[in-house]
Every structure is written in C-alpha cells, then in structure tokens.
Structure 1
Amino acid sequence: MEINKKDLLWMYEKMKTSRYFEEQMEKAYLEGKQPVFNIGAGAVPGEMHLSNGQEPAAVGICVHLTDNDTVTAPHRPHHNAIAKGVDLKPMTAEIFGKVTGSGKGKGGHMHLFDLKAKFSCGGIVAAGMPHAVGAALANKKRGTDWVAVAFIGEGAANAGAFHESLNLAALWKLPVIVVVEDNAWGISVAKSASTSVASNDVRGAAYGIPGHSVKNNDPFEMYRVSKLAVDRARKGEGPTIIEIETYRYLGHFQGDPETYRDPEETSGLRAKDPIERVKAHLLDHKLATEKDFDALDKKIFKEVDEAYEFAMNSDLPKPEDALEDVFC
C-alpha cells in the first residue's frame, strides 16, 4: 500500500515530536534525583514511563483517526497522546503537577485526560479496554461511524479485562481496535515467560475477529493494517486486534537499573530507528528535502520547548485544592 506524502510527513512530525518530548522529559525528570535516585524528588515527582522507540504503534493508526474518534492508553502514554492531538501545554503542565494541567495537576503523567482530543489513559493494566469498548458502544448507538482505539501493553493481553472486553465487542460488533504494543518486556518479565502465544493477534480467532501482526516496529506496515482495521470498524463490521513488535529504548521506568536485559539489546534496536526510516523514505522518493526537515524540526522543537516553559512557569496547586474535585 502506497502512503501519500501528507500522511508520511504527519507521521514523521508526530514521531519526532514524541521523541523530542520524551528526551526533554528524561532530562527534566532526573533533575534533583541524582546522584542517588530519589523518586519523590525534583520538579516531576513520582514514576515516569517514557516511550522512546514505540512511536510507530501510535502514529500508524492515529493517522487514520479523526477528532471524533476515541483513544485510551496505558501507563506509557505520551506517544499515544501526541499522535491523537492532545494539547502539549496542558499535557506537560499536568505531568509537572501544575494547576494549568489538563487535570489541574492531580493526575500526573499516567492519568492524562483531554476531552477535546477524546483521549484518556490510566495506570491500571488493561483498564483502558472497557473504556474503549464503552465509547465504541456509544458510537454505535448514536449511529455514527466513529471508532475507538485501546492501546495496551503485551502483558495486558493476559488480563481478564482484555478478554471480557473483546468478547463483548465481538458479540455486538462494536467499532473498536485493540493495539497491543509488544515491547518484549512486562516490567522485567520477558514476554516468553508470561504469555502462552508468540503473538497476541492470534487471539482474535477466539472471538471470530481479525488479528494482524506487525514485525520489526514497521511504521509502514502499521499504517497498512491499521487502515484495514479502521475501515472495518467504520463499516460496522466489528473489532480488530493489532499487535506490533515495538521497541522500548529505555527502562520500564526512569531509574530502572535494567539488570534483566542485555545492554546491547537497545543499541541494536536504535540502529533500526523508525523515525529515520520514515525520513529516509521521504528523501529517497523525493517527497521532501533536508531543508524541509530542518524547517519541520525547528517547528517541532519550538512547540515542545514552549510547552515545557509553560509547564515550568505555571503555579503549583494550593494545599486546599486537594479538597476539590473529590467524590464523596
């Protein structure tokens, strides 16, 4: 399947934005946490899960989505949020715990929410699955062609919420797509030690729905199979599972000593970087020039830097704000 220039440039821009955002977050997060790692210190306290390397999983399907479509994501959500069009300024402020954040600084990076972008995420494994199925049910009842996408990690495919959600979605032919981001590691547990099947796409057969497997973190193949899945959902034909073999360049969380994997693993993965693959494709097919990329990169860096400046210059919540927005 040929990918048009507009979509390729969009994919490059979103992947590059996500990568630069994560690289800046890596620096900001570690401030005040070294030389002895202290998870509660610094400007960004708490855990931090970065998605460097996993960008194709997000852009390959979000390029086919509209503002009306819903996306749910797991605890490693920044690339998903950026691909869905979440506003960078309130997103970054939320991660810094500021009042200008999308959740008034009360949710943090694992609980981002953007009503306009129809995006949410959560830290509980597989918790986004029922939410996406609920959105898909609402879309169907409204008589729209809107779809819902649930991003999950490969470990979440072993959770009950995964199977219960897919069973209902298949039974009612709901417009939902499940994207399994297989980065090979569930925290420090290898996929081969936790999952009885080599690839979770085969589990679609249990529910009578299609499953697709994307190897080698391939953004072009992810684009192709995602279009099939989204078109199927929009036509009312039901759900699809897509599992993409993606790469986690960094640890499960920032500060992870990564004693469970070979240090050479990540260097081998970085040699196949998907952002450079898309850039090379555009250059080789004379769809863009180095000058075009220089201008685009400057735009990306400016937007991300402005989001960080906005977040760092915003106010922290007042102590009494903890009593607001609380369910009784």
Structure 2
Amino acid sequence: MAASTAQATANTAETSGTNFEQIAEFSQEQELKALREMLAIRRFEEKAGQLYGMGLIGGFCHLYIGQEAVVVGMQMALKEGDQVITGYRDHGHMLATGMDMNGVMAELTGRRGGYSRGKGGSMHMFSREKHFYGGHGIVGAQVSLGTGLAFANKYRGTDNIAVAYFGDGAANQGQVYESFNMAKLWKLPVIYVVENNRYGMGTAYTRASSTTDFSQRGRSFDIPGEKVDGMDVRATYAAAQRAVEYARSGQGPYILEMETYRYRGHSMSDPAKYRSKEEVQKMREEHDPIEQVRKRLLAGGVAEDELNAMDKDIRAVVNAAAEFASSDPEPDVSELWTDILH
C-alpha cells in the first residue's frame, strides 16, 4: 500500500476501536525483501536453538520463530532515527533493525565480539547506531523506557517516533498503564505493539486476562488501537504505516495488537506441554508468515531455484555467524570493571 493510500485509509476510518482488515499491496521487490529478512531471523533463531542445546549459550534463550512478520512489517514503515525497544524475545528485533548477525550471536555465546562485549547475553543487547535500546528481562519495563524515548523525541523537537514492543503477558503490568496515561497526556510519539502470541510463560492469554482485546487496552486514556493479522507481513506493514503517520503527526500514542504465534516454548527450557502438537502444526501449515510470502512469489512467477538459493545464502551467513560466535575469545577479566556507573 502506498503511503498516500495508507493516509487516506487512516483519515477516513475511526481510529479508536477499529479493527482494520486492509493489507498492503506488495511489489515483487518488497515481497523478496520481506522474505529475506524473515528467513534471516528464522534461520538465526534455529541456529541459536542448536547452540543452546550444545551448551554454547548460557542463561535464558527466548526464540522468535513464528513471529517474524511482526517486526519485519513494522520496520519497513520506520525511518532513520526511529527507536525500537522490546522485551526478552528480542533477537528478531535486533536483526530487523540491521544489527550485525556476528555481534548478536557472539553476545549470545558470551564473547568479546558481542554487542555488550559478552557481558549481557540475550536480554541485554543494545545498539545506539541502529537505535535499538534493548531487550529487557523485567516484564513490561521496556514500555516505560520506550515512553521515555518518545518523550526525548518530543523534548528535542525531532520528528522521530519510538516503538515499544511487549507481549500479552506484559500487557497486564501496572507500569504499562502509567505509561499510557503519560503518553496520551503529553501526546508522545510512541507506538505500543502488543505481540499477542497467545501464551505467556505457560498460560493461555484467555486464562490470564479478564479482557482479551489488547488493542483496546488504551481506551480509558483515549488511545486508538487496532487488531492486526501478525502472521501476514503485508498486514503488519499496512498497520504500521497507519500508526506511524498518526504518531509522527503529533497526535500521540497508538496501539497495535499483533495477533501472532510462537512455534517454540516460552524459552528453550519450556517443553510447551500446555498446548497440543496439532495446534502448532495447524498454525505452521495454514498461517506461517514465511510460507505465505514464498507461495505468493512462486505464484507470481519467481523461480523456486531463486528462492532456494536465497535460503542457502542466508544459511551460509548464519553458519558463519555461529562459527564466529564459537571461536571468538571470551572477555578479559578486566571487563568486570568497565561500563560501571559510580
């Protein structure tokens, strides 16, 4: 969908309480870009899962497999200087913002070449260059911090916006609503993206939330919101355009509930026995974000060999990142005394 079309859609529709069904019309170039970026995230996460199983990644490891269309579609609508902040299921967000795969993988394995020099791991990676302000291990904490990023944008007089991602579990945290109130009160340029992947740590969102329409959680603060098919990158991109236009034009915060699904457990230590294998298989077969794009490209005349070659190239880059992350030296003990506030 062209920007002007998105603008017309946003202007003619009721912003508060509306569930849009529009999807963007992608060119073949856009489809290929989306496919490449989603494949890169998935192959990276698959490799991270392997390294975790081999004992090369310590601590927690939360994989993003299945949710790739959310962050890729969102990122396609942002511009240079817009900030991103999220929780601990964060590797996909890092790669989507353009962070180096070697640096991300090396941080997971605790090596010098990692983004936090091997001292932070999965939940503590940042890149000022790419305007990525971290995964955060405290549930919901990133929402307040993301609101602060938006406040800084308004205070400095820039036209940049902040995107704060959080899950259906974090949506019930009190600091989320404190942030909503301040963001609306001061009309801060922030988009709140609720990645509703249907389960918290091990509980279905329908059992953990008294109201399950997360797009309307900002209603008492007069924040508009909408539900989005988070498994279709065209839908996430179209919704992102609407939200970005709203926030960047000075109207204040916007909420997007991305209805998505994670194929793996909450973390690598979670066997996910709270759902059936049939449920996961059905989602993979009928709604997989990568397969949707692949099928459209094949139907549009792109050769299967070309798509297979793309996948092969991405696997090679991921394997190289894994090799770097396995062979890079560990941090020197002197790193214990750096990056300390005193």
Identify the TM-score tier after normalising by the shorter chain. over 0.9
**How far, CA to CA, are the matches of 1:281 and 1:197 in structure 2?**
35
**How far, CA to CA, are the matches of 1:88 and 1:319 in structure 2?**
25
Does the Cα contact within 8 Å between 2:67 and 2:230 map onto a contact in 1? no
Alignment equivalent of 1:59, drawn from 72, 84, 102: 72
Deviations 1:233-281 (A, max 9, x none): 1211111111111111011111212222222221111112110101112
Q: Within the alignment, does 1:74 sit opposite 2:87 as a pair?
A: yes
SS at match of 1:185: coil
Does the Cα contact within 8 Å between 2:125 and 2:135 map onto a contact in 1? yes
- Which is bigger in relative contact order (C-alpha 8 A, separation at least 6)? 2
SS at match of 1:178: strand
Cα distance change, pair 6–145 in 1 and its aligned pair in 2 (3 A): farther
% identical aligned pairs: 40
> Which residue is equivalent to 1:10?
33
* Contiguous gaps of at least 5 residues in structure 2: 1-23
Q: What letter corresponds to residue 55 of structure 1 in structure 2?
A: E
Q: Within the alignment, does 1:268 sit opposite 2:278 as a pair?
A: no
Q: Within the alignment, does 1:322 sit opposite 2:319 as a pair?
A: no
Q: Within the alignment, does 1:20 sit opposite 2:43 as a pair?
A: yes
* Contiguous gaps of at least 5 residues in structure 1: 32-41
> Which residue is equivalent to 1:292?
306
> Which residue is equivalent to 1:50?
63
Alignment equivalent of 1:163, drawn from 168, 171, 177: 177
TM-score between both structures, scaled by the size of structure 2: 0.88
**How far, CA to CA, are the matches of 1:150 and 1:10 in structure 2?**
23
SS at match of 1:27: helix
**How far, CA to CA, are the matches of 1:205 and 1:198 in structure 2?**
13
**How far, CA to CA, are the matches of 1:327 and 1:245 in structure 2?**
39
SS at match of 1:150: strand
Alignment equivalent of 2:298, drawn from 251, 260, 283: 283
5 Å-filtered alignment, 1:169-188, equals 169-188=183-202
Does the Cα contact within 8 Å between 1:57 and 1:179 map onto a contact in 2? no
Deviations 1:207-227 (A, max 9, x none): 212101024623222111111
Deviations 1:130-188 (A, max 9, x none): 22111111112222221110110111111112111111111111111011111111101
5 Å-filtered alignment, 1:44-193, equals 44-119=57-132, 120-193=134-207
**How far, CA to CA, are the matches of 2:29 and 2:148 in structure 1?**
32
**How far, CA to CA, are the matches of 2:61 and 2:268 in structure 1?**
6
Aligned residues between the structures: 317
Alignment equivalent of 1:311, drawn from 296, 302, 325: 325
Q: Within the alignment, does 1:223 sit opposite 2:234 as a pair?
A: no
Alignment equivalent of 1:211, drawn from 221, 225, 240: 225
